[in-house]
């Protein structure tokens, strides 16, 4: 089964998918624009679910893609996207030809975000993920996903070509397409943490602890995107909150919560207690 068909089934089995989250700086604005979708299109069961054995690697194409090696751990950073990222290097694939020069600033920032993660989170990702693919272009240009080029997203709002990032089946894909998300890499890593730090087949955002946090935040959420019914809104809020906190964009978190500082502290306390961030 091709990835497109599987994702359509996964989304139809959960809930309707809306537009991607608007820029957190504009979350209180109304009406909200229909922004390019990204990882929410991959909503589905958690990793290693016994009833769903199909993996991205099962449907990848065989065309080899270029790889850029990292610099050494102690090497200076020449701002070329090859900064060493610690333990996560075991699963990190830089998909560009280093002989062609450095990638664009969006790709370099994505690598910087990974490098800045605390080491214990990098180890969690290295143990739980199959791959993190980073490079120029959209999702179809990365991780051998060329068969998605020109194909519509499950929501029907646009094609996969405009997607800046995605997560599914223990695989993170991040390109350089424009996105309303302040930190695409940390948003997708938020989805990955939500998945790999939970029991197989489950998501951390479905736990009683995070459900309680989300329920307390629900009256303050500024975006309908985070209010989506079922698990979709909760998972996207988990990923956006994780991204805002790890990228040190606390004002973005408060914007998501309509400026409510008590709710913001509640969310930050949850992530601080669990991940020391």
The tens digit of pLDDT for each residue in 158-173 reads 888 888 899 988 999 9
Residue 95 CB neighbour total at 10 angstroms: 21
Taking a C-beta distance cutoff of 8 angstroms, is the pair 214, 239 a contact? no
Q: Is 112's pLDDT higher than 50? A: yes
Its pTM stands at 0.79
> Domains of the chain: which residue ranges?
63-178, 198-276
- Which residues have C-beta within 8 Å of that of residue 179, sequence separation ≥ 6? 20, 35, 36, 38, 164, 165
Give the residue-averaged pLDDT of 55-82. 79
Angle among Cα 43, 49, 54 to the nearest 5 degrees reads 75
3-state secondary structure 100-128: HCCCCHHHHHHHHHHHHCCHHHHHHHHHH
pLDDT band at 174 (very low <50, low <70, confident <90, very high): very high
Question: CA-to-CA distance for 42 and 48, rounded, in angstroms?
Answer: 15
- Which residues have C-beta within 8 Å of that of residue 270, sequence separation ≥ 6? 209, 210, 213
Tokens of 233: 């809104």
Helix-, strand-, coil-residue percentages of the chain, each rounded to 5: 50, 5, 45
Looking at the chain, how many residues does it have? 277
What's the whole-number average pLDDT of the chain?
81
Taking a C-beta distance cutoff of 8 angstroms, is the pair 49, 132 a contact? no
pLDDT value, residue 65: 74
Question: CA-to-CA distance for 243 and 190, rounded, in angstroms?
Answer: 6
Angle between helices 184-196 and 119-128 (to 10 degrees): 60
Of 220, 205, 142, nearest to 175 by C-alpha is 142
**31: preceding bond cis by omega (within 30 degrees):** yes
pLDDT band at 182 (very low <50, low <70, confident <90, very high): confident
What separation in angstroms does the CA of 236 have from each of 86, 124, 201? Answer: 27, 20, 18
Tokens of 75: 């090497």
Digit-coded pLDDT (tens) for 150-159: 888 766 778 8
């Amino acid at each position: 089964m091709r990835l497109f068909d599987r994702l359509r089934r996964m989304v139809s089995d959960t809930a309707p998918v809306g537009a991607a989250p608007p820029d957190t700086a504009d979350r209180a604005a109304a009406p909200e624009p229909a922004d390019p979708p990204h990882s929410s299109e991959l909503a589905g069961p958690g990793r290693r679910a016994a009833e769903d054995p199909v993996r991205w690697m099962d449907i990848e194409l065989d065309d080899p893609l270029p790889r850029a090696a990292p610099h050494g751990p102690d090497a200076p950073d020449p701002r070329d996207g090859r900064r060493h990222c610690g333990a996560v290097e075991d699963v990190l694939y830089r998909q560009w030809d280093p002989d062609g020069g450095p990638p664009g600033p969006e790709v370099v920032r994505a690598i910087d975000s990974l490098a800045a993660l605390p080491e214990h989170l990098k180890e969690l990702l290295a143990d739980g993920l199959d791959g993190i693919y980073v490079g120029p272009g959209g999702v179809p240009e990365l991780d051998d996903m060329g068969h998605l080029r020109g194909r519509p997203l499950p929501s029907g709002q646009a094609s996969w070509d405009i997607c800046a990032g995605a997560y599914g089946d223990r695989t993170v894909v991040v390109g350089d397409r424009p996105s309303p998300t302040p930190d695409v890499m940390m948003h997708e890593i938020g989805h990955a943490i939500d998945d790999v730090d939970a029991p197989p087949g489950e998501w951390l955002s479905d736990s009683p602890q995070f459900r309680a946090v989300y329920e307390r935040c629900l009256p303050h959420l500024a975006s309908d995107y985070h209010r989506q019914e079922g698990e979709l809104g909760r998972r996207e809020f988990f990923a956006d909150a994780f991204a805002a906190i790890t990228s040190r964009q606390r004002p973005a978190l408060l914007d998501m919560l309509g400026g409510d500082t008590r709710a913001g502290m509640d969310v930050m306390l949850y992530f601080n207690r669990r991940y020391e961030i």
